[in-house]
Amino acid sequence: MHRTFLIVSDIHYRLDNIKKLQIWLIQKDRLKEIDFIIACGDLVNGTPITTEKDKQEFQEVISALKCFDKPLYYIPGNHDPDTSFLPQDQKDNLNQTNDERPITKNFHNESVQLAPGLSIVGFGGSIDGVLRNSPETVIWPACPENTETFLAERLPILIDQVNNDDIILVTHFGPFKTGTTDVDMYPLQSSYAIESGR
């Protein structure tokens, strides 16, 4: 069976971009084709120590994505509130499953069956960001934990829960040695590249 996903990531609290996306999908008559929305983290631009403002902005982004009126599954990124990484029963009460609106679910460290034969497995956060030409130089540390080790431990357990489904692995971080950022601090000087892992 054919399924269509809208994948969004690194919104960084740009609510105007969510609205522009919604308008574009409506104008192009594409919104009706979408079966699921997957948000891959960095919904806000939070600080290393989560503030109430970060939590409020996170909820605002989730609310804006819910306006698409499609099932929404999301994982946190390294800029999202630390509460979004907690076990399901301790996460902020953003998950919603009633008959009035499509499901909204944080699936960090969980597997979810979307349809018969199709499941998603989610891992938020990030591994160390390092300089491409100097991998011993950590630009930003893994958040909230060593996600690479966590993934290696948890992924086999979650895959075993899926029962022969096709699996879509959703992460916020890219594969090892994948460029994530080019930093141009000064005009007319060389930029430096940051990539995942070391």
pLDDT in tens, 34-83: 999 999 999 999 877 889 999 999 999 999 999 999 999 999 998 999 98
Query: The domain spanning residue 138 has which CATH number?
Result: 3.60.21.10
**Percent of the chain at pLDDT exceeding 90:** 54
Q: What is the DSSP string of 20-80?
A: HHHHHHHHTT-GGG--EEEE-S--S---SS--HHHHHHHHHHHHHHHTT-S-EEE---TTS
State the DSSP string of 104-150: EEE-BTEEEEEETTEEEEEE-SB--EEETTEEEEEEE--BSS-HHHH
SS3 164: coil
Give the total number of structural domains in the chain. Answer: 1
Tell me, what amino acid is at 194? I
Highest average pLDDT, of 27-36, 75-84, 156-165, comes from 27-36
Pairing of strands 134-140, 166-171: unpaired
**Phi, psi angle pair for 56, to nearest 5°:** -65, -45
Q: Highest-confidence range of 95-99, 123-127, 138-142, 176-180, by mean pLDDT?
A: 123-127
- Give the residue numbers spanning the domain of 141: 5-196
**Residue type at 149?**
T
pLDDT in tens, 106-149: 999 999 999 999 999 999 988 887 877 787 888 778 787 667 78
Query: Please, which pLDDT band fits residue 196 given cuts at 50, 70 and 90?
Result: low
E strand or H helix at 7: strand 5-8
